[in-house]
Structure 1
Amino acid sequence: MSLLHTFKETLKPCGTLSSSLSSSRISSTQELEQPPTRKPPKSSLSQQLLRLDDSYFLSLKHESKAAETQVEDSNCGEDDHKRNIKFEEEEDEEDEKPTEFGRPGLSRAEFDYTGPYEPLVLSSIGEIPIIQVPASINCRLLEYQREGVKFLYNLYKNNYGGILGDDMGLGKTIQTIAFLAGVYGKDGDSGDTSILESEKGPVLIICPSSVIHNWESEFSRWASFFKVSVYHGANRDMILEKLNAGGVEVLVTSFDTFRIQGPVLSGINWEIVIADEAHRLKNEKSKLYEACLVIKTKKRIGLTGTVMQNKMSELFNLFEWVAPGSLGTREHFREFYDEPLKQGQRATAPVRFVQIADKRKQHLVSVLRKYMLRRTKEETIGHLMMGKEDNVVFCQMSEVQKRVYQRMLQLPEIQCLVNKDNPCACGSPLKQSQCCRRIVPEGTIWSYLHRDNHDGCDSCPFCLVLPCLLKLQQISNHLELIKPNPKDEPEKQKKDAEFVSAVFGTDIDLVGGVSASESFMDLSDVKHCGKMRALEKLMASWLSKGDKILLFSYSVRMLDILEKFLIRKGYSFARLDGSTPTNLRQSLVDDFNASPSKQVFLISTRAGGLGLNLVSANRVVIFDPNWNPSHDLQAQDRSFRYGQKRHVVVFRLLAAGSLEELVYTRQVYKQQLSNIAVAGKMETRYFEGVQDCKEFQGELFGISNLFRDLSDKLFTSEIVESHKDSNIHEISEAEEDEEVFCFSKPEIEEPTLRDLGIVYAHRNEDIINGGGTTTSTSTSTSQRLNGDGNSSENLQCVERRKKKIKSCSEEKDMFFSNREQKREKYKMLAAFKGMAILEFSRWILSASPFDREMLLQDFLERVN
């Protein structure tokens, strides 16, 4: 064993050994049989370019392999990356491979290095002791992950917390483990206790219970030298004793356990506390948030790809936990950032409001950058993937659905809510909601909610909002969903039957009565469901071209209906929902990815969790939208992640003229506000409404908007079309030189959107990222949704789509007057930035629009 350790030391970079030790090690190994030279890892050309400054060159024969092996191995950290590992070595090379070294039990795929086998030094020059990530970990990190590790160490060194806000699937778990290995002085080989390790307290990791096993497996795979224990379940007391005795370096627990056991765990002096899925700390009134606030350490790290989901107060709450006081007091944040940004985003906001909002946005982004590192897939691994397109498809409801929806809007409960602010008919000076119409005893929904208290509750009539919204969403998706659920208690089934009878009216026989249908033929029929009619035609087109589909729904009952539809159509499918045993989920995923015969995967958006790498699918259908935009985005990422070799096209199905249009437009509002506050982006001002502002509820907010009749208009279309030309797009020379995958024109004419049951469609990217062009009822859009614009194997890259730069001043127009000038100015910009052309191009691709704009302004000021 000592000889083996000696030989391994000789493989380390010379800079890490003293000259005397190095020479003695080498001389002692000369007596051993000389092993074969280690082969360099396989890599893509793009990754070689990223490592030019490392003097790490690979032979051309390895360039033909896209970074499949190394990427899947190094970055499946959050999603059970033990799966989907591909071995690219030829069989005839097997005997030539040298002996692999490292921790016992590691597979050879783990040693397809993505970088040189040397430690990653984190500490500054001259700093003692030297803090470095072990070579055994560093060699498997991608460049952006090394930057993430350095960011985490910088937070730690300065004794404050922060957020690693990379997109899901970029390896936040791996970066965290690498950072801990460096801070605790692990060398990755001997596993001996270091001085650094003995001086530090334990690490606490708080995460969802569904990913506890993932953290265990990642530590075992990447840093088995850590003493990791799980504080969860029946053995908590034993683990606590072990922790107090110094036998635990890393303690992993769940949010729920910590919420209950917070007083016990908060009394320990933790060196570092890490919250995975840190957006769970968004509510300052929750018991979990209160428990996390009393943790005894300043070194708090949050891991989340969705720093802000619904409102800006969530952003403050998260940063108040990781870096208390970094954004001022809660009142200061609301007055200085929150309100100006929201008011400045109004469609008709005065110019001075917009200017103030822009200044506050820039200031907020500059503050956040001190405590947060945020990277997207497009910025980091976009060159390794074929891209993603997110289509929002507005499906026409069936005639029966429309009639039922209209009857629902006329129910006494909804009319009570809509007219809540009107003067009461009894002549009282009070509003209806405060007087005679505070309760609705004649309503079936109200009477069931208050079956034990006929005088109503303290929240009446506003307690009716959520139940009524749920019913409207069910009608928008499928009429069968509002029928009594046989699994409910008899009293609820009876009330649901009364409600169904009221909204079905004269159509009751047409839809099979008030009882839940048990007929396979009725449930699988698409005639009364507008979304299923569109889905039927779209799926037929996709599957005929060899596409594989992920089909998401929030409702398990909707999944049951879709399952019968797939059986009727003869499609081969798999299904995963909350009832699927945890130990069977990964086998379902593996089987779907490996089996060409599996065409569709039915998934509940609530049961998805982490670890679902469904990269064999290139079509994603979200059947029903969620109020929280991050839920839909997470569903898309099941397919759009490492290992995906095809262009991913997403389809969000919405019922046109229904509540779902309002759900989607609120998603747009929330995403835009997040882009403005977190990334400093410029977003088109579509809406007049302002969140949490009664004075400017506009078209989005308030109860009256929720229950508005939208059947006579294309609500979203009208908003988008009226603002589609209001935004100014700018694009750099580096962006122009990027490859853009376009849809080739099919040779035959395809049916129009009307034939597909679609009244309107657009790309979500065009709406969120600055309000580009939209598509309406046209043959070209139909081609795009059918997927006929690309070949059955991959998208074909056709002539580069030119984007005309619209400048805010004549000076910028002159600056980009022609292509040759662009190239010269681009070189001048690189020199001004103090970078080489290649380095500057990489910076351009990762920089935010705000950074690019500021660089251009500084350059123009310097020139003038």
Structure 2
Amino acid sequence: MSLQALKETLKPCSSLPSSSFTFSASPVKLSQELEPRKPPKSSLSQQLLRLHEDGDPFPLPKAPPEIKGKEARAQFKQEDIKEEKDDEEEDEEEEGDRGRVKFGGPRSVPFQFDHTGPFEPLPLSSPGEAPLVQVPASINCRLLEHQREGVKFLYRLYKNNHGGILGDDMGLGKTIQAIAFLAAIFGKDGESSENASSKENQLGKKGPVLIVCPTSVIHNWESEFSRWSSFTVSIFHGASRELILEKLKAQGIEVLITSFDTYRIHGSILSDVKWEVVIVDEAHKLKNEKSKLYTAFADMKTLRRIGLTGTVMQNKIMELFNLFDWVAPRSLGNREHFREFYEEPLKHGQRSTAPESFVRIADERKQHLVSVLRKYMLRRTKEETIGHLMMGKEDNVVFCAMSELQKRVYRRILQIPDIQCLINKDLPCSCGSPLSQVECCKRTVPDGIIWPYLHRDNPDGCDWCPFCIVLPCLIKLQQVSNHLELIKPNPRDEPDKQRKDAEFAAAVFGPDINLVGGNAQNESFMGLSNVKHCGKMRALEKLMFSWSSRGDKILLFSYSVRMLDILEKFLIRKGSSFSRLDGSTPTNLRQSLVDDFNSSPSKQVFLISTRAGGLGLNLVSANRVVIFDPNWNPSHDLQAQDRSFRFGQKRHVVVFRLLAAGSLEELVYSRQIYKQQLSNIAISGKMEKRYFEGVQDCKEFQGELFGICNLFRDLSDKLFTSEIIELRIVYAHRNEKVVNFGRGIEGSPKGEPSQDNELKGPAVKRKLDHKVLEQRDTTARDQKKAQFKLIAQFKGLNELEFSRWLISATPSEREKVLGDFKKRKQKKIAEY
């Protein structure tokens, strides 16, 4: 054995700090179907103590007889948890309810694993190929199997001299896979400088590496490099840019980290550097080809461009083309070819009433697109990779009834002249002209409330009139859907805007103005914390009441800082201990807030601004996530959920998205479903259920989703989403059951009929009579209602109370009730 091989064999595998992405489960193949990981009953020290009492002086931890293999090894890793907490968990499990803990919850500690594989290098280059490229043993021993596959994929891209996308779900360690790949091609393994220089001679002199990422995660990248390898890392950001640039020219930097904004401004300087590899974190920011950021990135010299993102496509299929055309130019053809060959067929094939020929063509193009993308993209989900190490997640969408006052204000907003001008834009003009109103007399709205303020310096209007007022009107509708206080003047705004907002509030409150304390901002603590006139806060109050006695920890997200202020007063009134993080929180204090929340049993709620807390936070101590207001972009809500549902989470995570029923928010959520389904079709090749008639960016098929008239429809007396998606009216549904309806292109799941086979059947079978279908739906709906009512009676509740119980109950509680109901039913049948 050579000296170098001996050193590799004897080299220790050091444990990582708490924030590092370390594992101890043995390698798991993606194709394996594993049961969810069960939480251990006690710490490793207790297991050893019990075995020692049985007479073994140096016992090894043994798995219980019912747990074998990989799960057994995953359960018996060292956990730094107090013994009294372990006793509490053990007692509760013996009672048959593992989901509940005592008030305050278990003390959250970093969830760590030891090394996951043998201490040996991971070869990336082909056998016999020189020079030998390998991930050092000190890194490889701490990677999971899916991360090793990711490193191999990145090296294949590098070797073939082109770029690609590592599109793993958020929280699967894309940063670490990128660092392990760089350590391999640079020959980094933490050795002395002499050995490092000898490896450099073998591998050849490499150029520097550029990392571009959001400002909020710059220091996270820097710290991960210091934990995993021995690169010379510098940050090109802030006042020291000139010094860093000089050092870069002197070849004194191996890895340069910068932000998107810095590169957009100074990209002309950095683009002249001959980069070995360019890695872009959150690469979906390059989705708009018309942005200055995209233009700056297009001038990069290297072809080895790697994008890291968990949301490859967010809003439109063309975003997919823009991203791939940057990482691997011309890989998907030119823009017009992609639009005609892929985008249009996929969009029109997803229409609810699309002809069979459209559906068939869309299926063919979808499969072709997925086969092309696989050459340049590696995409894995949590379920495929670390699902056996986590307890799962539920994504519930709760439709909250607005208060009667909210409904009245919402209708009054729809009647203001500004919105009426938009609704009636295509009607014939009243002056007798053959032109429509928007082309003739109603292009401007001088008698409106919003339009005069926006055009106070230009009374004749602008080139975009009246469509320039669409966004401000939508914001007002969203504010009313969340809380009436939001449409009142904000003291932080300029005086002119405060006067305009006061005028608007007075107009839409009308005779109800005294019920909300006037049109000025309410300073009353008791008034703001009262849930009487806010449908969502009433729902939140009931949810939190059921969680408070369970020891659940809650993440509460909102896009509005003013909404966070109101929720803060609500929590104070309820006596909840909480932390808060928003855009005003200094960057250097954010991690301490996160650590304090994770470690403190008394902190029950974390108030977070979705914009400030969407990236870089690890809040695995929380097992309840509430998204108070939805976003048009579905990835923003998914990123908020993943602050809790990520590696290290030891409890079942339940997400509640609160929507104001019958408001614009239902349309926002329906568009989220539309976008998520298109993303699943284009990227994963899934067969999705066709709910909607609308087609994005197509005036001919705006359907129920698109166009100004749909945005300003009065939905206050309807349940818009349930009419489209649900067979019956419900108080909540699971997002994954709506979006992830279909199968992948590989084949149907076991037991599920293939829709392709139905399409290929006889024409007579395909064209079923609509009346028959309606009768079947009605029968199924009636049967479900009757079954629901019976279970509610079995539990001693009426239907409304039982629905509320279902929302707050844990999966084990639901299964127990259903199991008891079935046992009683079978017993009655046997007696009969």
Question: What's 1:782 paired with?
Answer: 804
Is the 2:614–2:640 Cα contact (8 Å) retained in structure 1? no
Q: In 2, are the aligned partners of 1:44 and 1:63 still within 8 Å (CA)?
A: no
Q: Secondary structure at the match of 1:607?
A: helix
Pick from 110, 113, 116: which aligns with 1:114?
Answer: 116
Cα distance, 1:626–1:202 mapped onto 2, change above 3 Å: same
Deviations 1:83-121 (A, max 9, x none): xx955899xxxxxxxxxxxxxxxxx99993111110000
- CA distance in structure 2 between the aligned counterparts of 1:795 and 1:601, rounded to whole angstroms: 30
Between the aligned partners of 1:408 and 1:584, the Cα distance in structure 2 is: 41
| Dislocated runs of 4+, deviation >6 Å | 35-39, 43-46, 64-72, 108-111, 771-777, 794-802
Which of 733, 737, 741 pairs up with 1:766? 737
Mapping 1:167-246, distance limit 5 Å: 167-191=169-193, 192-193=196-197, 194-196=200-202, 198-224=204-230, 226-246=231-251
Please state whether the residue corresponding to 1:47 is helix, strand or coil.
coil
| Pair 48,341 (structure 1): closer, same or farther in 2 beyond 3 Å | closer
Q: Residues 153 and 800 (structure 1 numbering): CA distance in 2 closer, same or farther, change over 3 Å?
A: farther
- Equivalent residue, structure 2, for 1:344: 349
**SS state at 1:295 partner:** coil
Q: Deviations over 1:157-209 (max 9, x none)?
A: 11110000001111000000000111112233334122255422111111111
The answer for unaligned runs of 5 or more in structure 1 is: 1-5, 15-34, 54-58, 75-84, 91-107, 725-757, 803-864
* Residue 434 (1) aligns with residue 439 (2): yes
Given the superposition, is the C-alpha separation of residues 800 and 384 from structure 1 closer, same or farther in structure 2, using an over 3 Å criterion?
A: farther
Please name the residue that 2:47 is paired with.
none
The 5-angstrom pairing of residues 285-684 of structure 1 reads: 285-684=290-689
Please report how far the alpha carbon of residue 481 of structure 1 lies from its aligned counterpart in structure 2 after TM superposition.
Answer: 0.2
Tell me which amino acid in the other structure corresponds to 1:761. Answer: A
Q: How far does the alpha carbon of each residue in 1:42-96 deviate from its partner, in whole angstroms, 9 at most, with x for none?
A: x99963665999xxxxx97265799999999x9xxxxxxxxxx955899xxxxxx
Aligned residue type for 2:376 = Y
Change over 3 Å in CA distance of 1:238–1:388 after alignment to 2: same
- Of 258, 265, 270, 2:270 maps to 265
Indicate how the Cα distance of structure 1 residues 763 and 110 shifts in structure 2: closer, same or farther if over 3 A, else same.
closer
Determine the structure 1 residue equivalent to 2:770. Answer: none
Give the secondary-structure state (helix, strand or coil) at the position aligned to 2:479.
Answer: helix
Change over 3 Å in CA distance of 1:635–1:110 after alignment to 2: closer
1:24 corresponds in structure 2 to none
| 1:748 corresponding residue in structure 2 | none
Match of 2:152 in 1: 150
By how many angstroms is 1:363 displaced? 0.2
Structure 2 stretches lacking a partner, 5+ long: 16-21, 33-58, 84-109, 743-751, 753-779, 786-798, 823-832
**Counterpart residue identity of residue 394, structure 2:** E
Bigger shift: residues 181-190 or 375-384: 181-190
**Shift of residue 760, structure 1, vs aligned partner:** 2.3
CA contact (8 A) 2:112 2:648 kept: no
Written as runs of structure 1 = structure 2, the 5 A alignment for 1:652-801 is 652-721=657-726, 760-770=731-741, 780-790=802-812
Whether contact under 8 Å (2:314, 2:634) holds in the other structure is yes
The 1:38/1:602 distance shift into structure 2, 3 A limit, reads closer
CA distance in 1: counterparts of 2:4 and 2:285, whole angstroms: 43
What amino acid is aligned across from residue 720 of structure 1 in structure 2? I
How far is the alpha carbon of 1:286 from its aligned partner?
Answer: 0.7
1:801 and 1:148 map into 2 onto residues whose CA distance is 47
Contact 2:23 2:116 in 1 (8 A): no
Q: Check conservation: 1:162, 1:323, Cα contact below 8 A.
A: yes
What SS is found at the alignment partner of 2:158?
helix
Residue 47 of structure 1, aligned match among 13, 26, 29: 26
The CA deviation at 1:782 is: 2.6
Q: Is the 8 A contact 2:23 2:144 kept in 1?
A: no
Q: Which residue of 2 aligns with 1:10?
A: 6
Q: Secondary structure at the match of 1:674?
A: helix
> Following TM superposition, by how much is the alpha carbon of 1:790 offset from its aligned partner in structure 2, in angstroms?
3.6
**C-alpha distance in structure 1 between counterparts of 2:30 and 2:470, whole Å:** 56
SS of match in other structure, 2:398: strand
Closer, same or farther in 2 for the Cα pair 1:347/1:530, shift >3 Å? same
Task: Find the counterpart in structure 1 of residue 39 from structure 2.
Answer: none
Say which SS state the counterpart of residue 333 (structure 2) adopts: coil
- Deviation at residue 795 of structure 1 after TM alignment: 8.9
The one-letter code matched in structure 1 to 2:804 is S
Secondary structure of the residue aligned to 2:256 is: strand
Q: SS state of the match for residue 575, structure 1?
A: strand
Taking a change above 3 Å as real, the CA distance of residues 623 and 361 of structure 1, as seen in their structure-2 partners, is: same
Change (3 A) 1:413 1:314: same
Distance 1:328 1:44, change over 3 A: closer
Contact kept in structure 1, 2:111 and 2:648, CA below 8 Å: no
Give the letter aligned to residue 167 of structure 1: D
Which secondary structure state, in structure 2, belongs to the residue aligned with residue 146 of structure 1? helix
In the aligned structure 2, how far is the partner of 1:588 from the partner of 1:207? 23
Q: 1:631-662: per-residue Cα shift (whole Å, max 9, x none)?
A: 10011111111111111110000000000000
Deviates most, 567-576 or 146-155: 567-576
Structure 1, 427-436 or 387-396: larger mean CA deviation: 427-436
Q: Is the 8 A contact 1:69 1:87 kept in 2?
A: no
2-side partners of 1:190 and 1:147: how far apart? 28
CA distance in 1, matches of 2:617, 2:72: 18
Residue pair 1:365, 1:680 contacting (<8 A) in 2 also: yes
Q: Judge conservation of contact 1:550–1:619 (CA < 8 Å) in 2.
A: yes
TM-score normalised by structure 1 residue count: 0.77
SS in 2 for 1:651: strand
C-alpha distance in 2 between matches for 1:310 and 1:369: 21
What does the per-residue CA deviation read over 1:690-747, in whole Å, with 9 as the maximum and x for residues that have no partner? 000000000000000000011222110010125x9xxxxxxxxxxxxxxxxxxxxxxx
Q: Which residue of 2 aligns with 1:841?
A: none
TM superposition score normalised by structure 2 = 0.80
In the TM superposition, what whole-angstrom CA distance separates every residue of 1:379-425 from its partner, at most 9, and x where no partner exists? 11000011000000000000000000000000000000011111111
Q: Which has the higher contact order (CA 8 A, sep 6+)?
A: 2
1:583 Cα deviation (Å)?
1.5
The Cα of 1:12 is off from its aligned counterpart by 2.6
Q: Give the aligned length.
A: 706
| Superimposed CA distance per residue, residues 589-618 of structure 1 (whole angstroms, 9 cap, x where no aligned partner) | 111111111111111101104331111111
- Change over 3 Å in CA distance of 1:597–1:132 after alignment to 2: same
Distance 1:196 1:531, change over 3 A: farther
The one-letter amino acid of 2:805's match is Q
Aligned residue in 2 for 1:130: 132
Q: Is the 8 A contact 2:26 2:73 kept in 1?
A: no
| Equivalent in the alignment of 1:831 | none
Corresponding position of 1:839: none
> Retained in 2: the 8 A contact 1:44–1:67?
no
Q: Contact 1:69–1:86 (CA<8 Å) still a contact in 2?
A: no
Q: CA 1:518/1:243 → structure 2, altered by over 3 Å: closer, same or farther?
A: same
Q: Which residue of 2 aligns with 1:98?
A: none
After superposing the two structures, state which structure 1 stretch, 638-647 or 693-702, moved more: 638-647
The 1:462–1:69 alpha-carbon spacing in structure 2 relative to 1, beyond 3 Å, is farther
CA contact (8 A) 1:393 1:761 kept: yes
Distance 2:506 2:385 in 1: 54
Equivalent residue, structure 1, for 2:166: 164
